[in-house]
């Protein structure tokens, strides 16, 4: 399904984005609306108020729960994420977010944490810098024809993020990669896997 991706109608993109919360609620996942509200509404501010910017272990765990609730639940990954030492999460995420706006460095650095793949790492980066990084979602990636089959690798994320950034730029200055990602996810109705 690539109809929204190929659309040049900003109104069509806005309509898809406006459906995001409705689609989140329609997933039938008990905690998803609460986790999504926290992820979109609270986490970015928490990160922004810290110097240096970073996430804590409880935030990384909650973000992982959000990602899995929006996609596919992978209990072993969550166990691994919880096993990270709190001070390692703070240090690793602080060092990673210090590399913003490098196109891939924050995601690469965050993916060194236990249980954190490119999708979870991109969730941290997107919360910290939505004007640079989109969350890595399988349903969204599948709508970008030039990317080919989704691969949960850092190289694939780099191509994905660049495509989403380019689409945001064509939609106008008020569009961020995060907005493009959410519009595409809502457009297809949500629910897919994310590594």
d(CA 91, CA 93): 6
d(CA 1, CA 193): 17
Residue 193 maps to a domain: no
Residue 170 maps to a domain: yes
Domains in the chain: how many in total?
1
pLDDT at position 73 is: 87
Cβ–Cβ under 8 Å, residues 91 and 167: no
Q: Which residue has the tokens 């609270």?
A: 42
d(CA 80, CA 73): 13
Residue 113 maps to a domain: yes
Structure tokens at 11: 């109104």
Residue 131 maps to a domain: yes
Q: Residues 155-173: pLDDT tens digits?
A: 999 999 999 999 999 999 9
d(CA 189, CA 133): 22
Q: For residue 189, report the phi and psi dihedrals to the nearest 5 degrees.
A: 90, 10
**Residue 44 three-state SS:** helix
d(CA 180, CA 178): 5
Show the CA angle centred on residue 172, arms to residues 166 and 177, nearest 5°. 45
Residue 27 maps to a domain: yes
Residue 194 maps to a domain: no
Residue 195 maps to a domain: no
Orientation angle between helical segments 10-18 and 177-187, nearest 10 degrees:
70
Q: Residues 20-50: pLDDT tens digits?
A: 999 999 999 999 999 999 999 999 999 999 9
pLDDT at position 193 is: 43
Q: Residues 72-101: pLDDT tens digits?
A: 888 999 999 999 999 999 999 999 999 999
Query: Which residue segment(s) compose the domain that 147 sits in?
Result: 3-187
Residue 108 maps to a domain: yes
């Amino acid at each position: 399904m690539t109809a929204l991706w190929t659309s040049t109608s900003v109104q069509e993109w806005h309509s898809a984005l406006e459906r995001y919360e409705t689609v989140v609620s329609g997933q039938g996942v008990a905690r998803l609306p609460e986790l999504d509200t926290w992820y979109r509404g609270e986490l970015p501010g928490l990160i922004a108020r810290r110097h240096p910017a970073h996430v804590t272990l409880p935030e990384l765990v909650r973000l992982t729960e959000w990602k899995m609730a929006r996609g596919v639940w992978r209990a072993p990954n969550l166990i691994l994420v919880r096993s990270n030492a709190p001070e390692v999460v703070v240090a690793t995420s602080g060092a990673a977010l210090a590399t913003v706006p490098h196109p891939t460095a924050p995601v690469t650095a965050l993916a060194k944490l236990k249980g954190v793949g490119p999708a979870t790492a991109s969730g941290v980066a997107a919360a910290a810098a939505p004007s640079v990084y989109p969350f890595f979602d399988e349903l969204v990636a599948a709508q970008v024809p030039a990317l080919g089959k989704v691969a949960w690798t850092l190289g694939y994320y780099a191509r994905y993020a660049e495509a989403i950034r380019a689409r945001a730029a064509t939609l106008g200055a008020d569009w961020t990669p995060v907005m493009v990602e959410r519009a595409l996810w809502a457009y297809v109705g949500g629910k897919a896997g994310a590594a």
